[in-house]
Amino acid sequence: MRLCVFCGSSAGQDPIYMASARLLGETLARNGIELVYGGASVGLMGAVADSALAAGGRVTGVMPQALVDKEIAHGSLSDLRVVGSMHERKALMAELSDGFIALPGGLGTFEELFEVWTWAQLGYHKKPCALLNVAGFYDKLAGFLDDVVERGFVKPVHRAMLIVRDEPGTLIEAIRAYEPPKVEKWIKAGER
């Protein structure tokens, strides 16, 4: 199994974010799960990769040439794939992965997560999408998403597709147990 981890290229203000990234990397490796991620050596990205490698795991990074040129590519990965653009990066990460986890991060992390979750909603893939809710980082987002369901913009079945757990071990268990919903159509003909 290969899981893609989206996360910040910065460390954030609370040391628990780095500690959680390290724990996730180690947990993936100890469970025989290959890490696929954005290829950087910095922030949470570097921490999750370093930890997986230190625990004997295999790590594949995917990075656009422009970022490699800025010397932020991790130099010790099992495999570094250099691509031409951010679009190619996301497509290859999705292709290589059997599921997706978002650690804390910023705009790029959110964008990557929402894109693969949208693809799942549309039926483009049946891979699990998940949040590692470190120290309540995603509590407000989860509440907002519940509100969006209440307002009729997201169906409950699609909201339920996003796995949220507070600890790497239980998150991996939930990912392994994930069954994609059997939804014939995500929108009914004539709905606007």
Q: What is the pTM of this model?
A: 0.93
Domain that holds residue 35: 2-136+162-176
Of 94, 141, 103, 97, nearest to 23 by C-alpha is 103
Residue 23 lies in a domain: yes
Residues 93-102: tens digit of each pLDDT: 999 999 999 9
Residue 157 lies in a domain: no
CATH code for the domain in which residue 86 is found: 3.40.50.450
Residue 33 lies in a domain: yes
Give the total number of structural domains in the chain. Answer: 1
pLDDT of residue 71: 79
Residue 192 lies in a domain: no
Taking 50 as the pLDDT cut, the residues of the chain under it are none
Residue 149 lies in a domain: no
Residue 44 lies in a domain: yes
